[in-house]
Structure 1
Amino acid sequence: MTELLLPSLPVAARYRPARVRALFDELASTYGAAEWLSGGQLGRWRRSLVAALRWPAAGPVPVIDLMAGGAELWQPLHQHLGSRLALTAVDFSAPMLARAARQHAPGLTLRQADALATELPAGAAAAVTCAFGLKTLAPAAYPALAAEAARLLRPAGQLALLEFDLPTQPWVRAAMLTYLQLLPATLRHLCREAAGHAALPRYACAGVRWPALLAALRDAGFGQVRQQRLWPGCARLIVAEKL
């Protein structure tokens, strides 16, 4: 079943930035459909990311969210930090950022930029986050992502990465693959961008190259790396500290 979900394009074309940007431009107007069909699970995983980080006890908390999409992380971050949150959401898709702007969220700044070269000031963030953006990033770009995150962070700042991961338990893995295979057909009845929504499960099944990502983090100067599989084993959270 996994093979049915994998993109038919060559790897180089699959991760080409222009292709990925066009995909998210198309998906922006109906991006919440997959969130709804997850039964709230995506939101629970995002809250787990926020809870896993060590936050300053007082004062403003600058956070930079890379590949931020519609700034879905703003809500759990704001619930945790309140008015202390100063979130900069970085994404290269203008329609996704327009979706984020409709939240009228206090403490949210939007920036259209490449997550690998944001041109934001160095040492600007107490935390850098990325939720569900890794799957559309070529493994060859992991070192650039890690280096940019390290540049953006203050000393001892933390990086949190959240992404889908194929479960190790056979029955959970089978259930996830079945869900991902059925998702495009379900979305076809809900929205006209079903073809675009069908691409995301394919990227999820292609998966993150976790050993390569961890090596990139170490090479960029991160330490105290913690990994956690999130219930029911379909997502992985990595938290690392800038040394």
Structure 2
Amino acid sequence: MTSPVTAAPAPPRYQPAQVRALFDAMALTYGWGGWLSGGLLKRWRRRLAQALRGPATGPVWVVDLMAGGADLWPALHQRFGPRLRLAAVDFSAPMLARAAAHGAGGQLDLYHADALATPLPAGQATVVTCAFGLKTLLPAQYPALTAEAARLLRPGGEVALVEFVLPDSGWRRRLAQQYMALLMPLLGWLQPAARVHAELPLYASAGPDWPALGRALRQMGFRQVRQRRLWPGYAVLITAVKPG
């Protein structure tokens, strides 16, 4: 949910206008993703929040890049409670309007901006997160993503990124492909406005380049880069720490 910064033209699916239009169109039905995943998206968001150490006391300022409808908010609020202050950044205005429905009061701030070049101040964030937005990025954009995370974080701050993935091969991959092939047409029949969700498996099939993302984090100076696959094998969480 962000715009490319590479010099070479991006493939059509990754052009900023097309990505923005896709998520603008999905805003009203984005909550269907939880149903489609059988509750796994919620579980994976909780795992991301649980992986964060955070400070023992004091405020926890989280910047959520490509935040969409700020669906990470409940898991983060459960983790940090009233100490949380969340800045949700997304370039889809309808998705941010959906985020406003959380009714989080002063704990949730919305920023209509490119996640790779936010207007937020440098060196202030305790945590930078991204949940299920990586699939819309090309590997050539990873350095810009990790650079922005490093700029936003205070020394010792954490970055945590999670994304849906298809296994490289085997029965798990076939099962996921068959599930999506059957469910997406059903979803469109039940709710025509949700037909745009059929685009998401196309991004997921390409998937993030996890080795390239890990390299980009290390090259930006991050330490303790750790990658783990989340149960039942259809999501990957990567975490890292800014030295300080």
Q: Fold conserved (TM > 0.5)?
A: yes
| Distance (Å, rounded) in 1 between the aligned partners of 2:132 and 2:22 | 14
Question: Partner residue of 1:128?
Answer: 128
Measured in 2, the distance between the counterparts of 1:11 and 1:176 equals 27
Aligned to 1:119: 119
Match of 2:140 in 1: 140
TM-score calculated relative to the size of structure 2: 0.92
Find the counterpart in structure 1 of residue 5 from structure 2: none
Give the corresponding residue for 1:200: 200
Q: Is the Cα contact below 8 Å between 1:172 and 1:232 reproduced in 2?
A: no
One-letter amino acid matched to 2:146: A
Distance 2:153 2:10 in 1: 31
* Structure-1 separation of matches of 2:171 and 2:85: 41
Q: What is the SS of the residue equivalent to 1:240?
A: strand
Q: Distance in 2 between matches of 1:220 and 1:50?
A: 23
Deviation per CA, 1:160-194, whole angstroms, max 9, x where unpaired?
Answer: 00001222561212111112222321211232234
Runs of 4+ in 1 over 3 A off after TM superposition: none
How many residues align? The count is 234
Residues 1:236 and 2:236 aligned together:
yes
SS at match of 2:11: helix
> Once the two structures are superposed, what CA deviation does each residue of 1:11-62 show, in whole Å capped at 9, x if it has no partner?
6211111110010000000001121121211000000001111111111110
Residues of 1 paired with 2:214 and 2:11: CA distance? 21
Q: Which residue of 2 aligns with 1:88?
A: 87
Gaps of 5+ in 2: 1-8
Question: How far apart are the structure 2 equivalents of 1:194 and 1:71?
Answer: 19
- Partner of 2:4 in structure 1? none
Aligned to 2:28: 29
Whichever residue aligns with residue 61 of structure 2, its letter is P
SS at match of 2:114: coil
TM-score w.r.t. the length of structure 1 is 0.93
- Measure, in 2, the Cα distance between the counterparts of 1:30 and 1:165: 21
Partner letter of residue 64 of structure 1?
Answer: V
Q: Which amino acid aligns with 1:69?
A: G
Letter in 2 for 1:67: M
- C-alpha RMSD of matched pairs (Å): 1.3
* Cα distance in 2 for residues equivalent to 1:26 and 1:181: 21
* Mapped contact 2:29–2:194 kept (Cα < 8 A): no
1:70-219 equivalences in 2 (<5 Å): 70-106=69-105, 107-168=107-168, 170-219=170-219
Range 56-65 or range 178-187, more displaced: 178-187
Whether contact under 8 Å (1:115, 1:145) holds in the other structure is yes
1:52 partnered with 2:45: no
Q: Does the CA-based 8 Å contact 2:133-2:163 persist in structure 1? A: yes
Identity among equivalent positions (%) equals 64
Contact 1:181 1:201 in 2 (8 A): no
Take 1:183 and 1:205, find their aligned partners in 2: how far apart are those partners? 16
Check the 8 A contact 1:183/1:198 in 2, yes or no. no
How big is each residue's C-alpha offset from its partner over 1:76-102, in whole Å with a ceiling of 9 and x where there is no partner?
110111110000000000000000101
Distance in 2 (CA, whole Å) between partners of 1:132 and 1:182 is 22
How far the C-alpha of 1:203 sits from its partner, in A, is 0.5
Map Cα deviations across residues 91-122 of structure 1 (whole Å, 9 max, x no partner): 00000000010111131111100000002100
Mapped partners of 2:171, 2:10: distance in 1: 28
Contact (CA 8 Å) 2:63, 2:129: kept in 1 or not?
A: yes
Distance 1:193 1:209 in 2: 31
2:24 partner letter: D
